[in-house]
Chains A and B, each alone.
Chain A
């Protein structure tokens, strides 16, 4: 056993890059509470300008399954029936459908209503299971903390003026090459 994990809880971060666009999981942050998770997400993931909205969700609230896991144990196809009178809630469905390298991991596919996460997974599979799906994430809508419309100006837009934060702005490699060349010429 290693040292005990003293880190704050982990939150998964979902980014929307244009109004109405699909949210995509871009990574995770540690935070003591959802508000700080949202701020940390902004500071860690919005250094590139194209963000209009962020969601953060406690990692423990998310049901995550790979295709291999679903194939290995098909019991998920027969979830225990929810107790009588259980109310249905909204669950967001995220999928990874491509093996190509990408900045994001899973992408929003839609939503289902269900009494619990297991039932939501089955319904998601029935509704969005066409074609290869490598990873499924079921995210309870109630566990999402979202940035607000009014936050866009202060949280996301300032990044658009900060080209100096992008490494490409600095011509260090060209200058290094020139300096090296000069050095060699001096030696010769």
Chain B
């Protein structure tokens, strides 16, 4: 692998890892606060799964760069994070977190399906491990999307508001990184546009099935992953605080 390619691949893996980590952290904020006990446990399980996926991607990133995952997670500044902004937004109400998780689950599911065929073997192996979990996440969040969409006036209203609020941020997930075409040409990662098409088809049907409507595609491009909202700094301050207070601690 050429050094240029290796660099793009490392950057890609880092963005995948950061997406999972930041979402996992946001979802973990529901632990102890979800609407009912059983869903508290279910949502915490999902957060743990995403954290597990983050660990896989940070591990592959480490193989290429030598950067220890703990170092990457606890000692990077917000501007060096490469997660999509969708995932750093505050958790909002339950509908907001649920719909965000659903959007991400569909994204991860369609990506994992295609990564099974990746010419970069570590990616294919990771996808094989992640995909069954994503199928379950999808089942869970899709079930809830339907229940909330077709439930009461209030649940339907809140769920539609969540869809509307999240929509302008979603498409950043599908923005290719600078130079990503070398990975696509090598068969390492699927083409973003293919993911976006597959994602939209599933979402369109699901929203219609839940009595919700799909907003119009935002006109403006969401821009690169180097820009963040102020919410990411708040999130990282919380997440990194303990590790930074006592660097190198073992437990």
Q: Which residues of B contact A (CB under 8 A)?
A: 36-39, 41-42, 45, 48-49, 52, 129, 132-133, 135-136, 139-140, 143-144, 147, 250-251
Instruction: Give complex CA distance A47, B44 in Å.
Output: 12
Segment 28-84 of A: residues with Cβ below 8 Å from B? 29-33, 35-36, 39-40, 42-44, 47
Main SS at interface, chain A:
helix
Report B-chain residues with C-beta under 8 Å of the C-beta of A44: 38, 41
Report B-chain residues with C-beta under 8 Å of the C-beta of A175: 250-251
Q: Which residues of A contact B (CB under 8 A)?
A: 7-8, 29-33, 35-36, 39-40, 42-44, 47, 153-155, 157-158, 161-162, 164-165, 170, 172, 175
Chain A residue at smallest Cβ distance from B46: A43
A25 to chain B, nearest CB (A): 17
CB-based contact A39/B135 at 8 Å: no
**Given A8-B36, A43-B41, A44-B38: A154 and B136 interface contact (C-beta under 8 Å):** yes
**Given A32-B147, A35-B143, A175-B251: A155 and B136 interface contact (C-beta under 8 Å):** yes
Q: Which of B38, B45, B135, B143 contacts A154 (CB 8 A)?
A: B135
B132 to chain A, nearest CB (A): 4
B151 to chain A, nearest CB (A): 9
A148 to chain B, nearest CB (A): 12
Instruction: Give complex CA distance A32, B150 in Å.
Output: 13
CB-based contact B143/A43 at 8 Å: no
Report A-chain residues with C-beta under 8 Å of the C-beta of B251: 170, 172, 175
A153 to chain B, nearest CB (A): 5
CB-based contact B143/A165 at 8 Å: no
